[in-house]
Amino acid sequence: MSTLEKRKATNLPRYAKIRQMNRGSYDRALANEILDAGLVAHCGFIHENKPMVIPMAYARIGDKLYIHGASTTRIIKDNANGVPASLTVTLIDGIVVARSAFHHSMNYRCAIVHGTAHLVEDHDKQIEALAAITDHILPGRWDECRAMMAKEHKATGVLVMDMEHVSTKVRTGGPVDDTEDLGTDLWAGVVPVTTALGQPFDAYDVPEGTPVPESIPAARRKFA
């Protein structure tokens, strides 16, 4: 079977001639959209003159970002007293395959935030931030859990970062090849990259018949 016949047989889609975009911006609404869609952030801070980059759960409330960790960890202790910090969220959407290696690229959405991190001292603000971090990953999850205990609260450090400087970089669309490379017999296109949640697994010690809570998206999708 020829490639053309295969493509017809399988309805291999063509990448639409959409406006190709590869640009940076300072659009706050777009940055918020990317920040809210991410699963983990890569947090940057400086430790002994070295750039540290650590993956972290996080949440946005208005124009503030929150991360948390054990009170004893470096990222909490180093950043407690107002030093420059950053938070980057990257969503990968596709591998852009061009005729030339030079024009290969990725489709992605990235938000980069710079600010100054501080320890959150206020009890209610800490709880609000911890709830937001939990609900960022699984909306509604915080209220399903048993209430946080004082010793758990004490063991957790919460940092807040004002979104002082925000930038985004987004690439969409197909490859942009040199005119001389068009009309050759070289293929070009986009391989989509998708990150998805799968069907949840029960913990081994969950009794048979325990209802799967509403916040678990795959369960909700499956059983709704």
Q: Is 3 helix (H, G, I), strand (E, B) or coil?
A: helix
The nearer residue to a copy of itself, 123 or 201, going by C-beta atoms, is 201
The site that binds a copy of itself (CB under 8 A) totals a number of residues, namely 104
Q: Which of 32, 33, 77, 114 binds a copy of itself (CB under 8 A)?
A: 114
Judged by CB under 8 A, the stretch of 24-32, 59-67, 118-126, 172-180 that binds a copy of itself is 172-180
Residue 190 CA to residue 174 CA, distance in Å, equals 6
Mark residues 53-92: x for contact with a copy of itself by CB under 8 A, - for none.
Answer: xxx-x--------------------------xxxxx-x-x
Return the closest-CA partner of residue 174 out of 191, 157, 193.
191
Mark residues 115-154: x for contact with a copy of itself by CB under 8 A, - for none.
Answer: ---------------xx--x--xx--xx-xxx-xx--x--
Q: Which of 59, 112, 129, 163 binds a copy of itself (CB under 8 A)?
A: 112
Does 52 interact with a copy of itself (rule: CB under 8 A)? yes
Q: Count other C-beta atoms under 10 Å from residue 129's C-beta.
A: 24
Q: What element of type H or E holds 5?
A: helix 3-10
Cβ contacts of 217-222, under 8 Å, gap ≥ 24: 217/138
Judged by CB under 8 A, the stretch of 7-15, 28-36, 59-67, 118-126 that binds a copy of itself is 7-15
CB of 81 to a copy of itself, least distance (A): 16
Let me know how long the chain is: 224
CB within 8 A of 1, min separation 6: which ones?
9
Return the closest-CA partner of residue 59 out of 183, 147, 159.
159
